[in-house]
A and B are shown apart, each in its own frame.
Chain A
Amino acid sequence: ETGVTQTPRHLVMGMTNKKSLKCEQHLGHNAMYWYKQSAKKPLELMFVYSLEERVENNSVPSRFSPECPNSSHLFLHLHTLQPEDSALYLCASSDRGLAGETQYFGPGTRLLVL
Protein backbone atom coordinates (compact mmCIF):
# COMPACT_ATOMS: atom_id res chain seq x y z
CA GLU A 1 0.00 0.00 0.00
CA THR A 2 1.39 3.37 -1.02
CA GLY A 3 -1.09 5.52 0.90
CA VAL A 4 -2.91 6.55 -2.27
CA THR A 5 -6.28 4.97 -3.00
CA GLN A 6 -8.36 5.13 -6.14
CA THR A 7 -11.97 4.22 -6.79
CA PRO A 8 -13.41 2.57 -8.70
CA ARG A 9 -10.72 0.11 -9.71
CA HIS A 10 -12.55 -0.82 -12.89
CA LEU A 11 -15.09 1.17 -14.90
CA VAL A 12 -16.99 0.43 -18.06
CA MET A 13 -18.93 3.30 -19.57
CA GLY A 14 -20.70 4.22 -22.75
CA MET A 15 -19.77 7.29 -24.72
CA THR A 16 -22.78 9.22 -23.46
CA ASN A 17 -22.25 8.44 -19.77
CA LYS A 18 -20.90 10.73 -17.09
CA LYS A 19 -18.73 9.22 -14.40
CA SER A 20 -16.11 10.35 -11.91
CA LEU A 21 -12.85 8.84 -10.74
CA LYS A 22 -11.78 9.47 -7.18
CA CYS A 23 -8.34 9.60 -5.64
CA GLU A 24 -7.47 10.03 -1.98
CA GLN A 25 -4.04 10.29 -0.42
CA HIS A 26 -3.28 9.66 3.25
CA LEU A 27 0.31 10.89 3.17
CA GLY A 28 -0.11 14.55 4.01
CA HIS A 29 1.13 15.54 0.57
CA ASN A 30 0.05 18.78 -1.04
CA ALA A 31 0.51 18.01 -4.72
CA MET A 32 -1.59 15.55 -6.70
CA TYR A 33 -1.43 14.32 -10.28
CA TRP A 34 -3.52 12.53 -12.88
CA TYR A 35 -1.77 10.34 -15.44
CA LYS A 36 -3.09 8.33 -18.36
CA GLN A 37 -1.41 5.05 -19.24
CA SER A 38 -2.30 3.49 -22.58
CA ALA A 39 -0.94 0.24 -23.90
CA LYS A 40 2.62 0.50 -25.20
CA LYS A 41 2.82 4.24 -24.56
CA PRO A 42 4.64 6.20 -21.87
CA LEU A 43 2.69 7.62 -18.98
CA GLU A 44 1.04 10.87 -20.00
CA LEU A 45 0.74 13.60 -17.42
CA MET A 46 -2.75 15.08 -17.58
CA PHE A 47 -3.20 17.43 -14.65
CA VAL A 48 -1.25 18.68 -11.66
CA TYR A 49 -2.65 20.32 -8.56
CA SER A 50 -0.59 22.00 -5.90
CA LEU A 51 -2.28 23.26 -2.75
CA GLU A 52 -5.62 22.68 -4.48
CA GLU A 53 -4.70 24.95 -7.36
CA ARG A 54 -4.36 23.55 -10.86
CA VAL A 55 -0.89 24.27 -12.13
CA GLU A 56 -0.80 22.06 -15.21
CA ASN A 57 -3.30 21.15 -17.86
CA ASN A 58 -1.38 19.17 -20.39
CA SER A 59 -3.53 19.82 -23.47
CA VAL A 60 -6.15 17.43 -22.20
CA PRO A 61 -9.55 17.42 -23.98
CA SER A 62 -12.34 19.16 -22.13
CA ARG A 63 -14.25 15.88 -21.76
CA PHE A 64 -11.86 15.31 -18.84
CA SER A 65 -12.53 17.72 -15.99
CA PRO A 66 -10.44 17.58 -12.80
CA GLU A 67 -11.47 18.78 -9.38
CA CYS A 68 -9.38 19.13 -6.24
CA PRO A 69 -11.57 20.16 -3.28
CA ASN A 70 -8.73 19.79 -0.76
CA SER A 71 -5.15 18.56 -0.64
CA SER A 72 -6.20 14.97 0.13
CA HIS A 73 -8.78 14.43 -2.61
CA LEU A 74 -8.66 14.58 -6.37
CA PHE A 75 -11.41 13.79 -8.84
CA LEU A 76 -11.51 13.29 -12.58
CA HIS A 77 -14.94 13.89 -14.05
CA LEU A 78 -15.58 12.13 -17.33
CA HIS A 79 -18.24 12.89 -19.93
CA THR A 80 -18.84 11.97 -23.57
CA LEU A 81 -15.64 9.96 -23.75
CA GLN A 82 -14.32 8.22 -26.83
CA PRO A 83 -13.17 4.60 -27.16
CA GLU A 84 -9.57 5.82 -27.46
CA ASP A 85 -9.87 7.15 -23.91
CA SER A 86 -9.85 3.57 -22.65
CA ALA A 87 -6.75 3.30 -20.48
CA LEU A 88 -5.43 2.96 -16.96
CA TYR A 89 -5.82 6.25 -15.10
CA LEU A 90 -3.31 6.72 -12.35
CA CYS A 91 -3.35 9.21 -9.53
CA ALA A 92 -0.19 10.20 -7.71
CA SER A 93 0.81 12.54 -4.93
CA SER A 94 4.06 14.08 -3.80
CA ASP A 95 5.52 15.87 -0.84
CA ARG A 96 6.84 19.40 -0.58
CA GLY A 97 4.44 20.81 -3.13
CA LEU A 98 5.71 21.11 -6.66
CA ALA A 99 9.27 20.37 -5.61
CA GLY A 100 8.45 16.86 -4.39
CA GLU A 101 10.93 14.49 -5.92
CA THR A 102 9.23 11.13 -5.50
CA GLN A 103 5.67 10.48 -6.54
CA TYR A 104 3.45 7.94 -4.83
CA PHE A 105 0.94 6.24 -7.07
CA GLY A 106 -2.45 4.73 -6.49
CA PRO A 107 -3.41 1.37 -8.00
CA GLY A 108 -5.23 3.00 -10.90
CA THR A 109 -8.69 2.85 -12.45
CA ARG A 110 -8.96 0.65 -15.52
CA LEU A 111 -11.42 2.45 -17.80
CA LEU A 112 -13.12 0.90 -20.79
CA VAL A 113 -15.20 3.14 -23.04
CA LEU A 114 -17.63 1.30 -25.29
Chain B
Amino acid sequence: SQQGEEDPQALSIQEGENATMNCSYKTSINNLQWYRQNSGRGLVHLILIRSNEREKHSGRLRVTLDTSKKSSSLLITASRAADTASYFCATKSREDSSYKLIFGSGTRLLVRP
Protein backbone atom coordinates (compact mmCIF):
# COMPACT_ATOMS: atom_id res chain seq x y z
CA SER B 1 0.00 0.00 0.00
CA GLN B 2 1.17 3.53 -0.70
CA GLN B 3 2.74 5.31 2.23
CA GLY B 4 3.00 9.07 2.31
CA GLU B 5 0.34 10.76 0.22
CA GLU B 6 0.72 14.49 -0.18
CA ASP B 7 -2.11 16.93 -0.44
CA PRO B 8 -2.65 19.05 -2.45
CA GLN B 9 -1.03 17.68 -5.58
CA ALA B 10 -0.39 21.21 -6.80
CA LEU B 11 -0.38 24.60 -5.10
CA SER B 12 0.01 28.07 -6.59
CA ILE B 13 0.53 31.08 -4.33
CA GLN B 14 1.79 34.63 -4.48
CA GLU B 15 5.26 35.49 -3.23
CA GLY B 16 5.12 36.42 0.44
CA GLU B 17 2.20 34.12 1.22
CA ASN B 18 2.50 30.98 3.30
CA ALA B 19 2.35 27.53 1.73
CA THR B 20 0.97 24.51 3.57
CA MET B 21 1.36 20.96 2.35
CA ASN B 22 -0.01 17.86 4.01
CA CYS B 23 1.11 14.26 4.11
CA SER B 24 -0.80 11.20 5.26
CA TYR B 25 0.64 7.77 5.86
CA LYS B 26 -0.62 4.34 6.82
CA THR B 27 1.77 2.45 9.07
CA SER B 28 3.60 3.18 12.30
CA ILE B 29 6.66 5.25 11.61
CA ASN B 30 10.05 5.83 13.12
CA ASN B 31 10.37 9.25 11.53
CA LEU B 32 8.97 11.39 8.74
CA GLN B 33 11.08 13.52 6.45
CA TRP B 34 10.40 16.24 3.92
CA TYR B 35 12.42 16.59 0.76
CA ARG B 36 12.43 19.20 -1.97
CA GLN B 37 13.06 18.61 -5.67
CA ASN B 38 13.66 21.25 -8.26
CA SER B 39 12.49 20.33 -11.72
CA GLY B 40 14.43 17.35 -13.11
CA ARG B 41 16.94 17.39 -10.28
CA GLY B 42 17.69 15.24 -7.26
CA LEU B 43 15.94 15.48 -3.93
CA VAL B 44 17.29 17.61 -1.13
CA HIS B 45 16.54 16.80 2.50
CA LEU B 46 14.76 19.62 4.32
CA ILE B 47 13.76 18.43 7.74
CA LEU B 48 13.20 15.27 9.79
CA ILE B 49 10.69 14.84 12.59
CA ARG B 50 10.70 11.80 14.85
CA SER B 51 7.63 9.91 15.93
CA ASN B 52 7.89 11.28 19.48
CA GLU B 53 8.03 14.91 18.28
CA ARG B 54 5.03 17.06 17.47
CA GLU B 55 6.57 20.13 15.86
CA LYS B 56 9.87 21.19 14.44
CA HIS B 57 11.22 24.40 12.92
CA SER B 58 14.03 25.12 10.53
CA GLY B 59 14.30 28.66 9.20
CA ARG B 60 11.09 29.41 7.32
CA LEU B 61 9.98 25.78 7.57
CA ARG B 62 7.63 24.42 10.19
CA VAL B 63 6.71 20.75 10.32
CA THR B 64 4.05 19.18 12.48
CA LEU B 65 3.37 15.51 13.11
CA ASP B 66 0.19 13.95 14.42
CA THR B 67 0.79 10.24 14.89
CA SER B 68 -2.79 9.64 16.03
CA LYS B 69 -4.03 10.88 12.65
CA LYS B 70 -0.99 9.57 10.79
CA SER B 71 -0.46 12.92 9.19
CA SER B 72 2.13 15.66 8.87
CA SER B 73 2.16 19.16 7.49
CA LEU B 74 4.91 21.33 6.07
CA LEU B 75 4.48 25.08 6.31
CA ILE B 76 6.71 27.43 4.35
CA THR B 77 6.33 30.96 5.60
CA ALA B 78 6.93 34.14 3.59
CA SER B 79 7.37 32.18 0.38
CA ARG B 80 9.79 33.22 -2.33
CA ALA B 81 9.87 32.49 -6.05
CA ALA B 82 12.91 30.31 -5.36
CA ASP B 83 10.71 28.01 -3.25
CA THR B 84 9.06 26.81 -6.46
CA ALA B 85 9.69 23.06 -6.48
CA SER B 86 8.08 19.72 -5.69
CA TYR B 87 7.92 18.71 -2.05
CA PHE B 88 7.84 15.09 -0.91
CA CYS B 89 7.25 13.50 2.41
CA ALA B 90 9.04 10.25 3.16
CA THR B 91 8.43 7.89 6.01
CA LYS B 92 10.69 5.41 7.71
CA SER B 93 8.41 2.67 8.93
CA ARG B 94 8.86 0.79 12.18
CA GLU B 95 7.65 -2.32 10.40
CA ASP B 96 9.79 -2.37 7.28
CA SER B 97 13.54 -2.78 7.14
CA SER B 98 15.17 0.19 8.75
CA TYR B 99 16.77 1.49 5.55
CA LYS B 100 13.58 1.95 3.55
CA LEU B 101 12.17 5.39 2.95
CA ILE B 102 8.73 5.40 1.37
CA PHE B 103 8.02 8.52 -0.66
CA GLY B 104 4.71 10.07 -1.59
CA SER B 105 3.79 11.47 -4.97
CA GLY B 106 4.64 15.02 -3.97
CA THR B 107 3.12 18.49 -3.99
CA ARG B 108 4.13 20.81 -6.81
CA LEU B 109 4.46 24.32 -5.43
CA LEU B 110 4.50 27.36 -7.68
CA VAL B 111 5.33 30.69 -6.08
CA ARG B 112 4.41 33.57 -8.37
CA PRO B 113 6.64 36.64 -8.20
Contact = CB atoms under 8 A, between A and B. Distances in A.
Interface of A: 2, 4, 6, 31, 40-43, 45, 48, 50, 55-56, 88, 90, 92, 94, 97-108, 110
A31 B41 CA distance: 21
A88 to B, nearest CB: 7
B52 interface: no
Given A43-B88, A101-B31, A102-B48, A108 B103 contact: no
25 contacts: A2-B44, A31-B99, A40-B105, A41-B105, A42-B2, A42-B4, A42-B102, A42-B104, A42-B106, A43-B88, A43-B103, A90-B43, A98-B98, A98-B99, A100-B99, A101-B31, A101-B92, A103-B45, A104-B45, A106-B42, A107-B41, A108-B40, A108-B41, A108-B42, A110-B40
Interface in B85-113: 88, 92, 97-106
Contact of A50 (B31, B48, B99, B101): B99
Contacts of A48: 99-100
Contacts of B45: 102-104
Q: Is the interface of B mostly helix, strand, loop or mixed?
A: loop
Interface string B23-52: 000000001010100001111110010000
Interface of B: 2, 4, 31, 33, 35, 40-45, 48, 88, 92, 97-106
Given A48-B99, A56-B100, A101-B31, 10 more contacts: A31-B99, A42-B106, A45-B100, A45-B101, A55-B99, A88-B40, A97-B99, A98-B99, A108-B40, A108-B42
Nearest to A50: B99
B90 to A, nearest CB: 8
B88 A102 contact: no
A92 B101 CA distance: 11
B97 to A, nearest CB: 7
Contacts of A41: 105
Which of B4, B98, B99 neighbours the largest number of chain A CB atoms within 10 Å of its CB?
B99
Contacts of B41: 107-108
Given A40-B105, A42-B2, A105 B44 contact: yes
